[in-house]
A and B are shown apart, each in its own frame.
Chain A
Amino acid sequence: MKSLQKQEKFVGRSGLRREGPAKLCGLARYVDDLPLPGCLHGVTLRSSIPCGRIKGLRFDPAFAWDECVVVTAKDIPGKNVVALIEDDQPLLADGRVRHPQEPIALIAHLSRARAYEALKHVRVDYEPEEPVLTIEDSLAKKRLLHGADNVFKRFEIVKGDVDKALAESDVVVSGEYRVPHQEQAYIENNGMAAWVEKDGTLVVTGSLQCPYYVHKALMKAFGLPESKVRVVQATTGGGFGGKEEYPSMIAGHAALLALKSGKAVKIVYDRAEDMAATTKRHPAVVRHRTGLSKDGKLLAQDVEVVMDGGAYVTLSPVVLSRGTLHAAGPYECDHVRVRASVVATNTPPNGAFRGFGAPQTLFAVELHWEKISQSLGIDSLTLRRKNAFDLGSTTATGQKLSESVGARECLERAALRSGYAARRKRYDLWNKNPRNRTWRGAGLALVHHGAGFTGSGEVYLASKAGVELTRDGRVVVLAASTEIGQGTNTMFSQIAAETLGAPLDCVEVAGPDTGRVPNSGPTVASRTCMVVGALVRRACLQLKDELDRAGRGARDAAALRRAARLLCGREASRRFIVEYEPPPEVRWDDASYKGDAYGVYSYACCVADLEVDKATFEVRVLRLTTAQDIGKAINPLLAEGQIVGGTAQALGYALLENPVYKDGAMLNAQLTNYIIPTAPDTPPIDVELVERPYSRGPFGAKGVGELPMDVPAPAIAAAVFHATGLWVASLPITPECLCREFHDRF
């Protein structure tokens, strides 16, 4: 591509974050900081049982209820649902609860402490029913929670003839892999504020990823037209998917209280409530049967995936879809079958979390290589070299990979940079010496991650984004894509300035506000840079054409001001809005699950070096080396930051984060006992960026947001296996499991 050879001025450079100074100085305002004089504080009465009928609410007559505003399902003016894929989740439970922590009623008071106190003075009378709490009980139809079989959604991918190919294989290796819930643990808890304007417009603002999801949900729950609902993102302290769907619930709650009280209402969760009530990563069981030739050529993959969706459908079908599409890994195989389902249980609904189904199934397929390696006597690096995707490979859905395939390059670069093969040998020697107090090991994994929405998702989204030139010569990027700590604002500015040839400080990014910006779709699925960034670039090209036609460049602020007067005329600004156009070469069939599942894939390889204490079974990761093909790093420092952060989050998933559930509720809903890694738990992380440009991405960029979360867990599990010889195929690999395995073995 010619444009890529040109020297770029802003793209590919590590400029400072746009909102960095305000955040560092404490000037950025999160929802809890917003001054709303006279506002009420809302709290939520939640179910204390997993499942049953609500017989009634009893309000303590001794409590001063006249100081409070109380809302129940009766107060909902529109439909009692949190609108998403299927409208099955109520905004407030009406007559029955289906999971612990389900919202039943809302209370608001001028004082937050008094509102919490009020909660202690309401009793809910239940008629409890026998709950279904595990995947196994749900599949066995211990009780029917959904449809005829408790299955929310099923997918099947079939390529070739798996049964025949398995029968003809030299070896068949089977394995079962399990992954638990995982908490997003964003730094800012969920929170929303709502009020009703004099003209009847319902306004909500708060911590969120997807303003138009909240917009849609509020329209339905309140029976309001598009123009009477306005959603504004406040500064948001992280999301990781955890603020994709649940903000619609909290926004609805704050709005109900605001409507009934006639005042502004804030609902800000504390950590305990946030962890207990909001969404987690889906737990999953994945089973593999893999057929290979004696020399390690992959002949057949038979994969079964079951995820736990929790009590309502929410986003489970799409999470499952991504899990299904990544279940076979980045390997070429002629005969593949993936059968996947997501089932209902009486637990809080699981939802979006960085990776969105892929980390679950990629953990299984990647760790399975260690099992295959054992039965073939060939190391897993060699096995991957024999089978990994290359240009021209065909995926499980029959997609032919025609550009930007960095799988092998990532594999070789990470292996080389970490000295993987030599280290494995050194560790084998180390482990032979009984005087050493630790065992050491190295493990490796390779993954792909499809950027953007699955299959035809981007077509249905039909995202719009754009740019406007204001009369005073400012260039403003218009998109609903949110800055949640990942660098959206900085990256959009770089793309716009580069495309226009304008100075970076003449470019601004409009704050996401449904009253002002077009719907560029949700800030999820590693799509903001690749998909929305490409729209921003297209819109900027249109603006640039106009500037060129007017004989004015965008060279500096003065030139832009002159051009603006010409282009805007009497208007305050000129807008250039473009809509997503599906690339003509992308073909996908939802019915058969065949075709181009994603426009393109990013790739990553990770090598983990670690040691295990022989006395305490504590695992200390010594270093993580990773090479990631993201097409093009628009801002290399931010891209590297995404990779380092995702890697640390995956280290927690692999070794530390152990959600404990009892009767469907999370027992360790606090950061004291739900263990995420601290800085001293995080080893040096060595990142190498691989840039195989994608013709449809802005300046060649692909997705980077989720990819780093997919790859470290199986690499760490493989390294633990190498170090100890103890086979642990379920996460997290805690010292307790290793101690138990060791004890059972010796």
Chain B
Amino acid sequence: MRGDPGATTVLRPATPRQALDALRREPRALPLAGGTDLMVSWNAGLLGGRTVVDLSRLRSWAAIRSGRESVVVGALATHAALQESAVVRREFPLLVAACATIGAVQIQNRGTIGGNIANASPAGDTFPALAVYEPLIQAVSASGRRLIAFSEIFAGVKKTTLCPGELIESLELPFLRPKPSRQLFRKVGTRAAQAISKTVAAGLLWLDKKGTVAELRFALGSVAPTVRRLSAAERFLAGKRLDADSIAEACRLLEKDISPIDDIRSTRHYRLEVSKNLLRQFLEGR
């Protein structure tokens, strides 16, 4: 433990208003949700004397509320709570599957969906699922609130488009109507648990009655600075039949939207090949 408890100030606001005021006064303070990432940095002694704003008393931000056409998930809902929620299980199985692959049970019990997004890791396991479900993010600060499309939230590795002093309050996930004909979540990690993704995929496919593609949504994580939707492949396949040629072309187009790298966990070559294989398997319906 290299963090210095004596040099760290922890604020514990009781209400959202107090939290936002604290952050307005100290925009460089670090919000603490589940702490599963923050504590790693603190333990390594990387946080210096930065002030921490502990959000754990904001109970109302942990709620999951179902509406007629959508569900609103509070930013402090844990990965475990998402897996237990009946409405999330019914409507958003890919998100449930993603939450079940994060770290291990202990991490899922503490880690939150809002913290996961705000941390903006390129390898965030829930992001491909969220990218295909296209939620709207409710952001709040002492001076007001705004909606941010999920596709607009990330600015780069560990960077979001949130302003200093701004927090994620909740995200609203619209129900999918009609339900997709086919769906996929697959995490390819370094091992069976406690793993960081090498590539992580989520896909939704709607076929019309003639068997042509009405809509495809496919997203990949860990293969670019932020989660990526395969826009080129999605556009190309719209209105087409899924046959060997169109699938091969979609796999070729995948390279237009991702830019995997060699790093400590895997290689560019592997990430690219496996991403293509996952897309191919999904489109082939195997």
Contacts and interface: CB of A to CB of B under 8 A. Distances in A.
Nearest to B195: A675
Interface string A672-708: 1101011111000000000000000000000000000
B193 A113 contact: no
B270 A740 contact: yes
A677 B2 contact: no
A673 B264 contact: yes
Contact of A678 (B6, B45, B191, B198): B191
Contacts of A668: 264
B2 A616 contact: no
Given A116-B45, A739-B274, A740-B269, A678 B193 contact: yes
A148 interface: no
A743 B269 contact: yes
A736 B264 contact: no
Contact of A656 (B4, B190, B274): B190
A142 interface: no
Contacts of B192: 678, 680-681
A272 B44 CA distance: 9
A675 B1 CA distance: 21
B225 to A, nearest CB: 19
A112 interface: yes
B273 interface: yes
B113 interface: no
A117 B273 contact: no
Contacts of A117: 4, 45
Contact of A660 (B3, B44, B264): B264
Given A616-B188, A736-B270, A672 B193 contact: no
A680 B195 CA distance: 11
A561 interface: no
Q: Most chain-B Cβ atoms within 10 A of its Cβ — which of A111, A616, A617?
A: A616
B278 interface: yes
A113 B191 contact: no
Contacts of B45: 113, 116-117
Contacts of A617: 270, 274
A371 B4 CA distance: 56
A270 B42 CA distance: 13
A681 B277 contact: no
Interface in B34-58: 43-45
User: How many B residues are at the interface, by size bracket?
Assistant: 20 to 34
A616 B266 CA distance: 12
A114 B2 CA distance: 9
A736 B191 contact: no
A677 B264 contact: no
Given A616-B188, A616-B274, A673-B264, A437 B4 contact: no
Contact of B4 (A111, A618, A660, A678): A111
B267 interface: yes
A27 interface: no
Contacts of B266: 736
B185 to A, nearest CB: 14
Interface string A602-638: 0000000000001111100000000000000000000
Contacts of B196: 672-673
B4 A113 contact: yes
B286 interface: yes
A84 to B, nearest CB: 30
Interface string A657-675: 0001000000110001101
Contact of B281 (A114, A615, A660): A615
Interface string B251-286: 000000000000011110110011001101100001
Interface in B184-215: 188, 190-196, 198
Contacts of A672: 196
Given A270-B1, A681-B192, A615 B274 contact: yes
Given A678-B192, A681-B191, A736 B1 contact: no
Contacts of A437: 281, 286
Nearest to B198: A735
A654 to B, nearest CB: 13
B5 interface: yes
Interface string A95-119: 0000000000000000111101100
Given A113-B6, A272-B44, A735 B270 contact: yes
B3 A618 contact: no
B7 interface: yes
A735 B264 CA distance: 14
A616 B44 contact: no
Q: Which of B43, B198, B270, B278 has the most CB of A within 10 A?
A: B270
A205 B146 CA distance: 59
Given A616-B274, A677-B191, A680-B193, A736 B4 contact: no
A739 B277 CA distance: 11
Given A615-B278, A675-B191, A736-B270, A116 B2 contact: yes
B277 A616 contact: yes
Contacts of B273: 739, 743
B281 A739 contact: no
Interface in A79-136: 111-114, 116-117
Nearest to A680: B192
Given A616-B274, A616-B278, A680-B192, A736 B267 contact: yes
Interface in A689-746: 735-736, 739-740, 743
Contact of A615 (B191, B193, B277): B277
Contacts of A272: 44
Contacts of A116: 2, 45
A591 to B, nearest CB: 46
A60 B2 CA distance: 20
A681 B104 CA distance: 13
Contacts of B267: 736, 740
Given A270-B2, A616-B274, A739-B273, A656 B191 contact: yes
A113 B49 CA distance: 12
Contacts of A435: 286
B180 to A, nearest CB: 21
Contacts of B1: 112-113, 270
Interface string A437-478: 100000000000000000000000000000000000000000
A618 B266 CA distance: 12
Contacts of A680: 191-193
Contacts of B5: 113
Nearest to B286: A437
Contacts of A740: 267, 269-270
Contact of B270 (A113, A614, A660, A739): A739
Interface in B1-48: 1-7, 43-45
A617 B278 CA distance: 12
Contacts of B3: 113
B46 to A, nearest CB: 11
A677 B44 CA distance: 23
B276 to A, nearest CB: 9
Nearest to A671: B194
B194 to A, nearest CB: 6
Nearest to B190: A675
A743 to B, nearest CB: 6
Contact of B2 (A113, A614, A618): A113
A270 B273 CA distance: 37
16 contacts: A113-B1, A116-B2, A270-B43, A615-B274, A615-B278, A615-B281, A616-B277, A667-B264, A673-B264, A675-B195, A677-B191, A678-B104, A678-B193, A680-B193, A735-B270, A743-B273
Interface of B: 1-7, 43-45, 104, 188, 190-196, 198, 264-267, 269-270, 273-274, 277-278, 280-281, 286
The 5 closest A-B pairs by CB, nearest first: A113-B4, A680-B192, A615-B277, A736-B270, A116-B2
Given A113-B6, A678-B191, 20 more contacts: A111-B4, A113-B2, A113-B5, A113-B45, A114-B4, A437-B281, A616-B188, A616-B274, A616-B278, A617-B270, A656-B190, A667-B264, A675-B191, A678-B194, A735-B188, A736-B266, A736-B270, A739-B273, A739-B274, A743-B269
